């Protein structure tokens, strides 16, 4: 392949999404490769925050039902607008809560131990917060997590084999919770196959979409996924602490949520103030508390960009960008001890490149001091994520040149091989 900067420039000239870069605030002298942890601020997200603030300023309490974006209905409207990102029907998606709160809600609803089915199946590479929540839910039901939480083992510490998950779908499993994309290695699981195999055995299955929503197209409704949950502050660029989202398949919309709250009420009956909960007949029933308007506001502008670009086009550029990064790594940084830890196949790779190196923590520190913003994951992973909206191919090329310079001059040796407070 051509490893010249001119070739990278030619890729940018042919990029149909290149104009979206101007929509984002990008700091001069910085190569931002951490959008898989926190997406950058877009001008539209900023504008939508000001608009919600202005509605509060101008309307006061009347902002709940008046103005450009009436607050009372905003979570449902944003759920409808984000449904295409996950392949859900508009009534199956709601913007609410946070990742872990939504997981608690969904497990409280769908984990129903009975008739010898008492265990929850997860995997050993999942994000810790999910495992904390699953253990907590088991304990609330009176079960010992050491016995009733089954975690599928990884054969290599990087990936989870679908065959191993399916083998673990035994008669004592009541519920399965898995990530769509593994947060370290970037492995994209075969969601459709796993869902089909779970349902053949009468097991409900849900997915954590935090590391895929906004970069990988999904078809949760078509695939029959029972439920899913995700954050919006990574690839969807809704800001730190941005409100999350969840999906519940339409066949379950008659379920009473495990954790009932006032904002899960039927909108027409909510202000009747009756002490008998009358849930909405949509995923809106899974809301618990009042929407966090100032935290959800950036999503209004962010979703405008997704609706204009289209998730399929975003996926095409993401795959091309990560492939380009891996090609450069293999050509330019041979012999420096790196191993690509993510799957190489397009249909098995999420939105980031996983580089493994024994000096990963100190290499990340050296990158940051050189203006490249990476992401470290213990014990030895450097995650780099070129984001379709705002990362150019020239920036991918420049990132690899900085990394090459660090390795050639051994600049990382001046740093301690130890993570910071926030990795």
Please check if 392 is assigned to a binding site.
Answer: no
Angle between helices 293-309 and 43-59 (to 10 degrees): 140
Is residue 127 marked as binding?
yes
324 is in an annotated binding site: no
Q: Is 223 annotated as a binding residue?
A: no
Residue 31 DSSP one-character state: E
- DSSP-based three-state secondary structure for 17: coil
- Token duo for residue 338: 């790196």
Is there a binding annotation on residue 271? no
379 is in an annotated binding site: no
Q: Is 65 annotated as a binding residue?
A: no
Residue 346: how many CA atoms within 13 Å on its side-chain side?
A: 10
- Look at residue 119 and give its three-state secondary structure: strand
Mark out the alpha helices in 333-374 (DSSP H runs).
360-369
Q: Consult the annotation and say whether 263 binds a ligand.
A: no
Q: Tell me whether residue 146 is annotated as binding.
A: no
Using CA atoms, how far apart are residues 51 and 293, in angstroms rounded to an integer? 11
Among 387, 302, 303, CA closest to 351: 387
- 130 in a labelled binding site: yes
Helices (H), 243-374: 293-309, 311-332, 360-369
Q: Sign of dihedral through CA atoms 243, 211, 252, 145?
A: negative
For 253, what's the count of Cα atoms within 13 Å in the CB-facing half-sphere?
21
Which residues does the annotation place in the binding site?
99-100, 127-130, 208, 211, 233, 262, 290
Which residues does the annotation place in the binding site for pyridoxal 5'-phosphate?
99-100, 127-130, 208, 211, 233, 262, 290
């Amino acid at each position: 392949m051509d490893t010249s900067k001119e070739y990278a420039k030619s890729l940018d000239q042919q990029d149909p999404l290149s104009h979206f870069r101007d929509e984002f605030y990008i700091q001069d002298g910085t190569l931002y490769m951490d959008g898989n942890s926190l997406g950058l601020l877009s001008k539209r997200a900023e504008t939508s925050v000001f608009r919600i603030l202005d509605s509060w300023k101008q309307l006061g309490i009347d902002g709940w039902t008046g103005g450009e974006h009436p607050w009372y209905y905003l979570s449902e409207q944003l759920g409808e607008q984000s449904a295409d990102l996950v392949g859900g029907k508009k009534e199956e998606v709601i913007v609410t809560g946070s990742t872990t709160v939504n997981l608690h809600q969904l497990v409280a609803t769908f984990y129903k131990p009975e008739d010898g089915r008492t265990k929850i199946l997860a995997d050993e590479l999942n994000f810790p917060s999910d495992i904390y929540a699953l253990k907590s839910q088991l304990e609330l039901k009176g079960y010992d997590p050491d016995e009733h939480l089954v975690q599928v083992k990884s054969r290599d510490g990087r990936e989870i084999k679908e065959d191993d998950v399916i083998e673990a779908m035994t008669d004592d499993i009541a519920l399965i919770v898995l990530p769509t994309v593994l947060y370290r290695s970037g492995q994209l699981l075969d969601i459709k196959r796993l869902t089909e195999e779970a349902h053949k055995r009468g097991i409900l299955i849900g997915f954590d979409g935090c590391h895929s929503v906004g970069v990988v197209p999904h078809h949760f409704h078509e695939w029959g996924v029972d439920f899913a949950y995700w954050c919006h502050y990574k690839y969807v660029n809704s800001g730190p602490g941005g409100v999350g989202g969840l999906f519940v398949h339409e066949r379950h919309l008659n379920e009473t949520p495990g954790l009932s709250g006032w904002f899960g009420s039927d909108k027409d009956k909510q202000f009747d103030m009756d002490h008998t909960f009358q849930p909405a007949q949509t995923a809106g029933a899974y809301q618990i508390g009042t929407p966090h308007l100032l935290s959800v506001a950036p999503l209004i502008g962010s979703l405008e960009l997704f609706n204009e670009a289209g998730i399929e086009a975003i996926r095409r550029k993401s795959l091309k960008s990560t492939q380009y990064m891996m090609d450069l790594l293999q050509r330019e940084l041979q012999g420096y001890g790196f191993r690509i830890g993510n799957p190489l196949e397009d249909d098995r790779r999420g939105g980031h490149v996983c580089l493994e190196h024994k000096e990963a923590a100190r290499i990340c520190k050296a990158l940051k001091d050189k203006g490249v913003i990476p992401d470290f994951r213990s014990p030895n992973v450097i995650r780099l994520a070129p984001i379709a909206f705002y990362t150019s191919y020239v920036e991918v090329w420049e990132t690899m040149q900085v990394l090459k310079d660090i390795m050639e001059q051994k600049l990382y040796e001046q740093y301690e091989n130890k993570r910071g407070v926030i990795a």
